[in-house]
Structure 1
Amino acid sequence: MELKQEMARSLLKTSSLCVRTKLLNQVGLSLYNTSHGFHEEEVKKKLEQFPGGSIDLQKKDNGIGILTLNNPSKKNAFSGVMMLQLLEKVIELENWTEGKGVIVRGAKNTFCSGSDLNAVKGLGTSEDGVALCMFMQNTLTRFMRLPLISVALVQGWALGGGAELTTACDFRLMTPESEIRFVHKEMGIIPSWGGTTRLVEIIGSRQALKVLSGALKLDSKKALNIGMVEDVLQSSDETKSLEEAQEWLQQFVQGPPEVIRALKKSVCSGKELYLEEALQDERDLLGKLWGGPINLEAVAKKGKFNK
């Protein structure tokens, strides 16, 4: 009997690992489907009813993308259409093979004030709330798993869903007068786009409780002190701070996109998978690079340097 139970546990673990690895490594797969009670097309139809603003994407020749939340009349709050467009842009970035990094920012010196209240009021039932939660968890998880090194450039306010969006990025930079606030408690809810889970990973459970409860206000200095952000930029000017952010990101994306993307994938595997599967992913990623033209050229150059 004990042997059978051990075999069953092993099978469950293996099956779970296979599913997790498949989700992590295959482009275009959703986190949820109908087996979870998630009907994506129905959610999309509801979100289409709440227009306003846009999500703009600029893909630069140097392999850095600029993803801009553009709804300045509402401090870049997410309308329903913007939520749909964010998923579209994430899919576009998933297929951008020349990409190495992406900066997320808001237009007109404000990051994002959360969800547009028109959409919040229009999706008032518990079922609507859970469906929206699953839609945005799926979108931000796919964003987090992009083979691109991502940076949130926080200018002005990052409130509610905007604060959650910053946690989906690998790094966060703030301008001197900016602020990150998880205001969900004031709205009678909790973060539901994956923000709590990611915040705990970034700053730990004790600090996360302080931030989520509102006991700790994250201005740029406090955010830097607790490790929420990597750096506070010198300028609060929209153009200059974006230039600073691009210069900051450059230190991570120098080199061929194949190598940068493999590094990011390997880090995602190490973070999300069990040890055996993460090690397997490392082997698979290395197998695509070792002995290839980039590797051979680098080895040849090193040989010349050592002479």
Structure 2
Amino acid sequence: MDGASAATGEKQSLLPPSQQEGLRPDQPNEGNPAASQEMAASFLKTSTLSVRKKLFQQTGFPVYCTSHGFYEEDVKKKLQQFTGGSIDLQKEDDGIGILTLNNPSKKNALSGVMMLQLLEKVIELENWKEGKGLIVCGAKNTFCSGSDLNTVKSIGTSKDGVQLCMFMQNTLTRFMRLPLISVALVQGRAMGGGAEFTTACDFRLMTPSSEIRFVHKEMGIIPSWGGTARLIEIVGSRQTLKILSGALKLESTVALKIGIADEILQSSDESQSLEEARRWLQQFISGPPEVIRALKTVVSSGRELALEEALETERDILSTLWGGPANLEAVAKNKKFNK
């Protein structure tokens, strides 16, 4: 639950009566025999780090599974009952995707079906090998007001709230790990869960009249889609505590000053601000897709993994680029950058 609406009304459980376990994710591949022997020799020292690294490198590996008491299929069955709106994805030839939160009659609040579609679009983006960048925006010149009230009303128990929490943390963590450089285009308001969604993007661009507000305290809860942890990474723990405990209204100038926003765009017009965001993003995604995607991946590994694992990830990804087409072309052109 994201805190944009109060949790009231009829309560229906997301958990199955039998609490039966679903399929667990496959165990990570331990590699070739030589690598396995070497890992076994230093098992006590490196096993935890090795497993963590392998899990990170598996595309789409979830934060939670049935061993954590998370029952994804049951959550999906519940969420699909709450219709309205859509998540639209447009993949363009220049390697930029446009992900649109489309539920304008409710200020782009996420219905249950939209939450399911968001996961589907993340999976699609994980497999988009030509992709380099992604812009997330809302329809009709506003970003997102959080969860749709009808969905929230039916998830009134603590257990149900935790199930939805785990579902959205899984989804937004997979989104954050996409090998695409992502930008949240904040037009209008990003409230509650919408504010949390902006923190899952690499950058945030705001129009002059837009605002971000974490309203969870006013709803008697906390951010539960991973927004707190990500916000701390962006602005630090002291600023995060002020923002959350004060339910502060972060207008664009304030957001830029404290570091949530990366830039304030010139226009508040829906189409013009989207073009501005596209031009802003272009400066970071020029180049071959394999290089841009590799850069995003090593930054993600540096953020999430221990130093030794992050260094190994850099080494492994470099091995896929060194001597590759982009590298050989640059060397052949004798590029120099010290002029």
Q: TM-score category by the smaller chain?
A: over 0.9
Secondary structure at the aligned position of 2:97 is classed as strand
Separation in structure 2 between the aligned mates of residue 151 and residue 215 of structure 1, nearest angstrom: 23
- For the pair 1:221 / 2:259, whether they are aligned, the reply is no
* Higher RCO (CA < 8 A, seq sep 6+): 2
Q: Quote the residue 2:82 is aligned against.
A: 50
Q: Which runs of 5+ in 1 are unaligned?
A: 1-9
1:128 to 155, 160, 164: 160
After TM superposition, list the pairs within 5 Å mapping 1:59-78 onto structure 2.
59-78=91-110
1:243 aligns with 2:275: yes
How many residue pairs align between the two structures?
A: 297
Structure 1-normalised TM-score?
A: 0.94
Given candidates 318, 327, 330, the residue that maps to 1:286 is 318
2:217 matched to 1:182?
A: no
Q: Among 301, 308, 316, which residue is 1:276 paired with?
A: 308
Q: Which deviations, in whole Å up to 9, do the C-alpha atoms of 1:254-307 show, x marking residues without a partner?
A: 00000000000000111111111100000000000001121111100116999x
Give yes or no for the alignment of 1:153 onto 2:190: no
Give the structure 1 partner of residue 125 of structure 2: 93
Give how far 1:214 is off. Answer: 2.1
- Which position in structure 1 is the counterpart of 2:299? 267
- For residues 44 and 88 of structure 2, the distance between their equivalents in structure 1, rounded to whole angstroms, comes to 42
| Cα pair distance change 1:281/1:124, threshold 3 Å | same
Q: Which residue of 1 aligns with 2:205?
A: 173
Give distance in 2, aligned partners of 1:159 and 1:305: 43
State which of 264, 269, 288 in structure 2 corresponds to 1:256.
288
Alignment of 1:196-211 (within 5 A): 196-211=228-243
Structure number with higher helix proportion:
1
List gaps (5 residues or longer) in structure 2.
1-41
Query: TM-score normalised to the size of structure 2?
Result: 0.85
Report if the CA contact (8 A) 1:164-1:193 is conserved.
yes
Which residue identity is paired with 2:315? R
Moved more, 10-19 or 253-262: 10-19
Specify whether residues 234 and 122 from structure 1 end up closer, same or farther in structure 2 by C-alpha distance, changes over 3 A only.
same
The match for 1:300 among 332, 335, 339 is: 332
Shift of 1:21: 1.5
Residue equivalent to 1:233: 265
Change (3 A) 1:290 1:214: same
Q: Helix, strand or coil for the counterpart of 1:152? A: strand
Indicate whether 1:14 and 2:50 are aligned.
no
Show structure 1 runs of 4+ deviating over 4 A.
10-13, 303-306
Q: What is the identity percentage for the equivalent residue pairs of Structure 1 and Structure 2? A: 79
Shift of 1:25: 1.3
* Counterpart check, 1:30 vs 2:97: no
Q: 1:199: Cα distance to partner? A: 0.3
Aligned to 2:137: 105
Cα distance 1:141–1:42, how it changes in 2: closer, same or farther (>3 A)?
Answer: same
Contact 1:54 1:69 in 2 (8 A): yes
Paired residues of 1:102 and 1:149 also in contact (CA < 8 A): yes
Distance 1:282 1:122, change over 3 A: same
Contact 1:171-1:229 at 8 Å conserved across structures: yes
- Superposed CA offset, 1:193-239 (max 9, x none): 00000000100011101111126421000000000110000000000
Q: Secondary structure at the match of 2:100?
A: strand
SS at match of 1:261: helix
Give, in angstroms, the shift of residue 22 of structure 1. Answer: 2.3
Per-residue CA deviations over 1:51-73 (Å, capped at 9, x if unaligned) read 11000000000000000000000
Tell whether the 8 Å contact from 1:23 to 1:31 is kept in structure 2 after alignment: no
Q: Quick one: structure 1 residues 284 and 62, their matched pair in 2 at CA, closer, same or farther if it must change by over 3 Å?
A: same
For residues 149-204 of structure 1, the C-alpha deviation after alignment (integer angstroms, 9 at most, x for no partner) is: 00000000000000000000000000000000000011110000000000001000
